[in-house]
């Protein structure tokens, strides 16, 4: 079921038009109500009248976690506090405590997003859905709960650390859906395994709030016997439900009528093409309490604007795979540092450690991989070195899309503090 077909399935042109209209309003609203943001715009010589639609989005200044800290506690609030119906505290992406405030309208928007997300996971008003929230994050649980209510389903709100018998809950309540963190769902999987039973009438699990991989997902899906759907959100933006996954499980649909998503090169902050990695930057189009324009999430992902097989036209993003400090651009390609790290670590037969250096040579990016081994002589004898170099060249080359220069360290070992098996140095940044 598509919860809000009019919004989730509109053509790209219609969506861009809708977003543009809301953007123009939002910029005026922020300019009038948030002195801090008005100053930012004035500094750029920018006035609300300069923004006519989505084509002008790039002119607008970013908002960062630091901006929120600078204006703490409520300098970014766009309404008088009397209009707020709820406050929440959160640890920002940069770790500092922040305060957010919601108007009734903001909460309604949240429940709409959550209802869409549950519907994407195949849940509907006949379902009984357990909300296993983290006790230290009540605000998040409240957003999830409001979505179940909006959907017209029945909610079972329980703390995620409650050591009650989950299996018996599934039977007693005829529970059909569950939302929780990967670790809570892992607990569910263990319960099912332990009791040697199936997941009962469970239809779907929605999983978010912490990092997990496709491998974990597959393991969980196999153990529980149901599909597990990704969900994305950030407390600064709203909470979980900014994007959610449909039955096709090919990325999470962004609620684009409420949130503009841009994927930007982490170095140049200009848009990258669909399918390329970059930092996802959000503009909250219809929030009233603490709206954000071009909020730098520091989250790395890809976007895809193709129509999905499920019928939705909303853009899809991949599960967040890293943070901005974990990505480099090599000859224009975005590379996740940990993909290099993983590939080298998986060469288990080579007992070595590596220093990967990214440099500029004659204006071009080059990559050098230095293989170091305490048992260097052994390595060279057994293999004469060339084969080792070729294997390293191949795995790294595949990731960075070009041939790296690989050599074996023959002098004294390089000394690095906090040595890891793979050390990556981007000399271009120095």
- Residues in contact with a copy of itself by the rule CB under 8 A: 73, 81-82, 84-89, 99, 101, 125-126, 128, 133, 135-136, 138-139, 141-142, 145, 148-149, 152, 154-159, 162, 164, 172-174
CA neighbor of 38 nearest in space, from 55, 60, 19, 70: 60
In terms of Cβ atoms closer than 10 Å to its own Cβ (0-12, 13-18, 19+), residue 194 is exposed
CB of 145 to a copy of itself, least distance (A): 7
Cα–Cα dist 264/285, whole Å: 19
Non-local (6+) Cβ contacts of 415 within 8 A are: none
Q: What is the DSSP string of 347-382?
A: -TTS--EEEEEEEEETTEEEEEEEEE-TTHHHHHHH
CB of 386 to a copy of itself, least distance (A): 59
- Tell me whether residue 18 or residue 139 sits nearer to a copy of itself (CB atom): 139
- Tell me whether residue 158 or residue 264 sits nearer to a copy of itself (CB atom): 158
Q: E strands of 169-277, at which residues?
A: 177-180, 204-207, 227-234, 239-245, 252-254, 259-264
CA neighbor of 144 nearest in space, from 177, 172, 183, 111: 111
Cα–Cα dist 366/330, whole Å: 8
Cα–Cα dist 252/245, whole Å: 4
- Tell me whether residue 65 or residue 176 sits nearer to a copy of itself (CB atom): 176
CB of 243 to a copy of itself, least distance (A): 24
For residue 100 the two structure tokens come to: 């957010």
- Tell me whether residue 101 or residue 251 sits nearer to a copy of itself (CB atom): 101
- Tell me whether residue 82 or residue 361 sits nearer to a copy of itself (CB atom): 82
CB-facing half-sphere around the CA of 81: CA atoms within 13 A: 7
**Phi and psi at residue 132, to the nearest 5°:** -100, 85
- Tell me whether residue 5 or residue 136 sits nearer to a copy of itself (CB atom): 136
CB of 142 to a copy of itself, least distance (A): 7
- Tell me whether residue 145 or residue 206 sits nearer to a copy of itself (CB atom): 145
CB of 168 to a copy of itself, least distance (A): 9
- Tell me whether residue 142 or residue 186 sits nearer to a copy of itself (CB atom): 142
- Tell me whether residue 160 or residue 328 sits nearer to a copy of itself (CB atom): 160
Chain centroid to CA 104:
26
Contact between 76 and 68 under an 8 Å Cβ cutoff? The reply is yes
Sign of CA dihedral 74, 78, 80, 82: negative
CB of 183 to a copy of itself, least distance (A): 17
- Tell me whether residue 158 or residue 356 sits nearer to a copy of itself (CB atom): 158
CB of 128 to a copy of itself, least distance (A): 7
CB of 172 to a copy of itself, least distance (A): 5
CB of 199 to a copy of itself, least distance (A): 18
Other C-beta atoms within 10 Å of 185: how many? Answer: 25
Is residue 284 within a helix (H) or strand (E), and if so which, with residue range? strand 278-284
CB of 62 to a copy of itself, least distance (A): 26
Q: b vs e for 60-94, b when ≥16 Cβ sit within 10 Å of the residue's Cβ?
A: beebbbebbeebeebebbbbeeeebeeebebebbe
């Amino acid at each position: 079921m598509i919860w809000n077909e009019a919004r989730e399935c509109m053509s790209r042109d219609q969506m861009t038009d809708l977003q543009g209209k809301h953007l123009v309003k939002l910029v005026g609203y922020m300019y009038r109500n948030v002195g801090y943001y008005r100053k930012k715009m004035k500094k750029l010589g920018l006035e609300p009248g300069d923004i006519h639609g989505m084509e002008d989005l790039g002119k607008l200044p970013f908002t960062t976690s630091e901006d929120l800290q600078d204006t703490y506690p409520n300098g970014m609030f766009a309404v008088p506090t009397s209009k707020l119906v709820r406050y929440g505290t959160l640890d920002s992406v940069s770790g500092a405590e922040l305060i957010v405030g919601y108007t009734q309208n903001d909460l309604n928007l949240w429940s709409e997003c959550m209802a869409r997300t549950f519907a994407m996971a195949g849940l509907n008003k006949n379902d009984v859905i357990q909300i296993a929230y983290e006790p230290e994050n009540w605000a998040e649980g409240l957003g999830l709960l409001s979505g179940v209510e909006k959907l017209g389903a029945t909610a079972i709100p329980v703390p995620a650390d409650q050591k009650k018998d989950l299996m018996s809950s599934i039977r007693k309540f005829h529970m059909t859906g569950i939302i929780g963190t990967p670790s809570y769902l892992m607990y569910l999987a263990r319960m099912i395994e332990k009791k040697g039973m199936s997941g009962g009438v469970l239809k779907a699990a929605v999983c978010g709030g912490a990092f997990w991989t496709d491998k974990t997902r597959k393991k969980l899906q196999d153990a529980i016997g149901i599909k597990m759907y990704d969900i994305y959100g950030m407390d600064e933006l709203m909470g979980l439900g900014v994007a959610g996954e449909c039955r096709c499980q090919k990325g999470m649909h962004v609620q684009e009528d409420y949130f503009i998503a841009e994927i930007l090169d982490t170095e140049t902050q200009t848009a990258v093409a669909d399918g390329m990695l970059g930092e996802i930057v959000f503009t909250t189009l219809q929030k009233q309490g603490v709206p954000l324009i071009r909020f730098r999430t520091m989250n790395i992902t890809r976007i895809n604007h193709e129509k999905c097989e499920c019928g939705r036209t909303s853009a899809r993003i991949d599960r967040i795979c890293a943070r901005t400090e974990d990505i480099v651009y090599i000859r224009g390609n975005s590379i996740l540092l940990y993909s290099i790290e993983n590939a080298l670590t998986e060469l288990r037969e080579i007992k070595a450690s590596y220093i990967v250096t990214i440099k500029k040579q004659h204006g071009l990016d080059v990559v050098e991989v230095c293989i170091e081994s305490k048992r260097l002589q052994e390595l060279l004898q057994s293999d004469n070195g060339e084969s080792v170099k070729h294997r390293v060249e191949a795995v790294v080359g595949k990731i960075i899309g070009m041939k790296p220069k690989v050599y074996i360290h023959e002098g004294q070992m390089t000394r690095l503090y906090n040595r890891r098996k793979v050390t990556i140095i981007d000399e271009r940044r120095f």
